[in-house]
A and B are shown apart, each in its own frame.
Chain A
Amino acid sequence: MLSENVITDVLLAALSTGGDFAEIFMEDTYSTQIRMLDGAVDEAVSGRDFGVGIRIFQGWQSVYAYTNDVSREGLIKTAREAAAALRGVPAGKTVVLARLAVEKFNPVRLEPRLVKHGDRVAVMKRAHLAAAGFHEQITQVAVNYWDVDQNVCIANSEGLLVEDRRVRTRLSINAVASKGQEKQSAFRGPGRHMGFELFERIDVEEIARDAAQSAVTMVNADYAPGGKYPVIIDNEFGGVIFHEACGHSLEATSVAKGVSEFSGKLGEKIASELVTAVDDGTIPNAWGSQNIDDEGTKTRRNVLIENGILKGYMIDRLNARRMGMEPTGNARRQSYKYAPTSRMTNTFICAGESTREEIIANTEYALYAKRMGGGSVNPATGEFNFAVAEGYMVRNGKIAEPVRGATLIGKGSEILQKIDMVASNLATGQGMCGSLSGSIPADVGQPTIRVAEITVGGRKEAN
């Protein structure tokens, strides 16, 4: 992309005011988005994102600049503008670049630029037909398709020079069921770090019908009872609870500054001994996987919690300095427009020994959260809030009536301690995670778990 001479000159310009580390992140990304409503494509956008981000450290201080002007002059000007923030003198650093070969464990076969628009639309139509034809109460189906081909080049003043390519493909289905004036929608969004071969791996029709089933069940459901009682959270996207309530608090972004409830707790018991959790950016072709992170560090499998004991955090370069620890391959960013920071990749609670059936049979009264919606968390206090997209009551060891409108609220640290059953059916779901460095693809996951009690927000009195 850029010549080694230009990279070296820009890095030196960035270090001209006393910075002790400089980095360039160059990106050339092509993407295609198609939207289909009720079986007809009504919007399609293609785009090319192209620019360079420059980052400078001086101790714990960080400066970031980006530009679309990628001429040698434009880049040096941007580097100098960023360097102006430091007002020091050059430390006399030299830069000797050495190209690093990346081991590629996310093979891509059908790359986006070779895929025909017609094939994309055909997959979308299949999804539409399966969902729309599922039930007479399905009144609307929206299908979205997204593929992206991101080419990055990362170089820094320590001599690193590395290139990587990330190809991702995702289909999402939103089914709306109506009953009188009431409407309920359900979402499914399978995606992988791969090309169009995604559609050889997933059953588009089955996923679309599953979304439709969920919407129909919910539009016919009554409201969930509010109160504090046991909750069984199902596998796959149920892992969003761990992602939001615990994962974010294990990111160095909040740990390094001591604002996370898990700061300074390495080696301590922070969860029930049934809980082992990892963040693993090395799973071939998984949605949140990358060969290298956005600072050029190889991704890894990081154990976060082992049998309830806090074992590790997710750490980027800058926070590694604050914490006196090594980066863990978790630095990520939406694009060159964002300075990278510690983020999750594929994060999940590991399989336990029970089964879903056992958990339900052993529960007298609970909310069974079969599908979780999204949620958010205040990392300072660990207080979280999740929507339950598809819920049922469990009574006397059996799944009873479906319920809607429930939310789960509580504190991450308390929930971790209260997990009292963990099944073996680990599965993952795909999400877009939004935080300081933008919106990035991340897998969430877990087996079916039971939490002894959570505050459930609902509109009826508990009974």
Chain B
Amino acid sequence: MVFRKFKERVFAAGQAAGLEELEIYGTRAKQFNVRVFEGEVDDYRVSLEQGMGLRAKFGGRVGYAYVESLDEDSVQYLVTAAKANAQINESEDEVDFYAGSPDYPRVSCYNEQLAGVSPEERVSFCLELEKAALGADERVFKVNYAITGYEEAEVYIANTKGLEQGFATNGAYSYVSALVRQDGQVKSGSKLLFDKDWSKFDAGKLAQEAVQEAVSLLGASSVSSGGYRILLRRDVARDLLSTFVPVFSAEAVQKGLSLLQGRLGELIASPSLTLVDDPLLENGAATAPFDGEGVAGRRKNVIEAGRLTTYLHNLKTARKDGVESTGNASRPSFKSPVGIAPTNFFIEPGQAGFADLIQALGDGLIIINVQGTHSGANPVSGDFSLGAYGYLVQGGRIVRPVEQLTIAGNFFRLLENVEAVGSDLEFGNPGYRGNVGSPSLIISNLAIAGI
């Protein structure tokens, strides 16, 4: 394996330069992505990407460097740059490099069947996806996105304390977005799927969901401003949870950037809410045997029946708090320093189906989309104010679509105001904030600004 050989040279050069400890984190990824437009493949991408990050200690302090070409120049560059970066580091935090866990869980992150799907099959799936969306309703005039992709990666970690571990992972995704028009009004609807199980990729079903949503929004108008009972559809609940993921990080807590500071063991959410981080979840996009520091993964509840049970830790924050690492050290890429992120992070589903939740909502709004989570939400204060649309519900029935709303509130109040948790847990697009999932949630009150 290419990393193993390169590692020996980096460790030798590093030790010669006086570096006290060295750790290599390497990834090698293959990606495939196809986009179809008007019956033609209009975008087709393939890539092979490899790189290696060095984390090194000098004078007890940590410095980082990375390269993408594994040649002799890169060996010298890594060692020199990481040393210089360690020399300006003034952090007082003690950082441990990890010698390895006694046992690593056996998890399957690599689906052989998925890996065996040919590029041709993926292309025809994508062509079918666009065709199905165009044919799903006569009001569809354009399918602005029909995308399918696949990626696989090898992850490798090794350090001078004796750790050497690796694993392979893969996954496929598909996204379709359709535009419908009626009486001059244009609406869009979309559907995203990320899964390791290729049999879940049903073009007709994905297209139907996207188009039905777009059509259901035709004739939307605003509502008057005020407080409403709200049903957050699963994907919206997930987007909000994903936006506020940093508040659960022990690093944010220790730096005073999380309002969950000092609240361990307290009731911070409705008793109907349990929040789980599970790196061993079967078929999970973020499933992995170990984290970004080589610590073995384990399942834990972060919120249990409304009570905050733990923060997410890596080795550095765990040492500071005098606890064990929760196995949440993250390396979003070989370029990134060790941080903290959840793995498969989700609100445990309840019993009620989506239709039951609408019934239980009675009078209120269903929110099926929020925009602006990267700008209209403040992870420090928990405040959010987001563009939104959805449906007006009266007497337990959907009355009409609504648009041009903003929903405003505070994430921490929202957790307290969860009245019911649905059974429809769904995950989104895994990213540097982990693989986040949620069922639909009823919130007893949120402020809405309309016309």
B-binding residues in A (CB < 8 A): 34, 37, 40-51, 60-70, 78, 81-82, 84-85, 117-118, 121, 139-140, 176, 181-185, 226-228, 257-259, 337, 339, 373-376, 378, 380-381, 383-387, 404-407, 409-410, 455-459, 461-462
Contact = CB atoms under 8 A, between A and B. Distances in A.
Most chain B C-beta atoms within 10 Å of own C-beta, residue among A68, A227, A386: A68
A44 B372 contact: no
A380 B42 contact: no
B43 A117 contact: no
Nearest to B89: A41
Given A43-B337, A48-B74, A461-B225, A409 B404 contact: yes
Interface in B90-146: 90-93, 119, 142, 144
Given A259-B179, A339-B43, A385-B376, A44 B187 contact: no
A-B pairs, 5 with minimum CB distance: A457-B406, A226-B449, A374-B375, A385-B387, A385-B372
A410 B404 contact: yes
A50 to B, nearest CB: 5
Contacts of B449: 226-227, 455-458
B168 interface: no
A42 B93 contact: yes
Nearest to A51: B68
B88 A226 contact: no
Given A46-B85, A117-B88, A374-B375, A69 B408 contact: no
B335 A62 contact: no
A207 to B, nearest CB: 21
B447 A259 contact: no
B192 interface: no
A381 B257 contact: no
A337 B77 contact: no
Interface in B34-93: 37, 40-51, 62-69, 74, 77, 81-82, 84-93
Nearest to B339: A43
Given A65-B47, A457-B387, A44 B85 contact: yes
Interface of B: 37, 40-51, 62-69, 74, 77, 81-82, 84-93, 119, 142, 144, 177, 179, 186-188, 222, 225-226, 255-257, 259, 335-337, 371-372, 374-376, 378, 380-381, 383, 385-387, 403-409, 447, 449-451
Given A65-B46, A257-B144, A405-B408, A381 B381 contact: no
22 contacts: A40-B91, A41-B91, A43-B337, A44-B89, A45-B336, A48-B67, A50-B68, A62-B44, A64-B46, A117-B85, A226-B225, A226-B447, A257-B144, A339-B45, A378-B188, A378-B371, A380-B144, A385-B386, A405-B408, A455-B450, A457-B406, A458-B449
B87 A117 contact: yes
B40 A61 contact: yes
B47 A455 contact: no
A391 to B, nearest CB: 11
Contacts of A50: 67-69
B68 A49 contact: yes
A430 B40 CA distance: 38
Nearest to B259: A181
A387 B225 contact: no
B372 to A, nearest CB: 4
Given A140-B256, A226-B449, A461-B225, A46 B376 contact: no
A140 B257 contact: yes
A37 to B, nearest CB: 7
A409 B383 CA distance: 17
Contacts of B188: 378, 380-381
Label chain A's interface by main secondary structure.
Answer: strand
Contacts of B92: 40
A85 B44 contact: yes
Contacts of A181: 259
Contacts of B51: 68
A42 B49 contact: no
Most chain B C-beta atoms within 10 Å of own C-beta, residue among A257, A374, A387: A387
A381 B48 contact: no
A176 B252 CA distance: 13
B90 A458 contact: no
A57 to B, nearest CB: 10
A455 B406 contact: yes
Nearest to A27: B68
Contacts of A82: 44, 46
B89 A43 contact: yes
Most chain A C-beta atoms within 10 Å of own C-beta, residue among B46, B49, B92, B119: B46
Contacts of A409: 387, 404-406
A411 B68 CA distance: 42
Contacts of A37: 255
Contacts of A228: 451
Nearest to B49: A68
Given A176-B257, A455-B449, 13 more contacts: A42-B89, A45-B335, A47-B67, A48-B66, A78-B48, A117-B84, A259-B142, A376-B374, A378-B371, A457-B406, A458-B449, A459-B409, A461-B225
A407 B40 contact: no
Given A61-B41, A85-B44, A376 B69 contact: no
A342 to B, nearest CB: 14
Contacts of B179: 259, 380
A183 B261 CA distance: 13
B387 A183 contact: no
B297 to A, nearest CB: 24
Given A43-B89, A257-B37, A63 B406 contact: no
A47 B335 contact: yes
Contact of A60 (B42, B77, B374): B42
A46 B144 contact: no
Most chain A C-beta atoms within 10 Å of own C-beta, residue among B37, B89, B372, B408: B372
A376 B380 contact: no
A305 to B, nearest CB: 22
Contacts of A176: 257, 380
A139 B409 CA distance: 24
A70 B255 CA distance: 43
Given A41-B91, A61-B41, A455-B449, A69 B225 contact: no
A67 B69 contact: no
A63 to B, nearest CB: 4
A459 B447 contact: yes
Nearest to A55: B45
A49 B77 CA distance: 12
B385 A387 contact: yes
A319 B155 CA distance: 37
A65 B65 CA distance: 26
A404 B385 CA distance: 10
B45 A455 contact: no
A43 B336 CA distance: 10
Contacts of B378: 184-185
Given A378-B188, A459-B447, A46 B65 contact: yes
Contact of B42 (A62, A121, A184, A374): A62
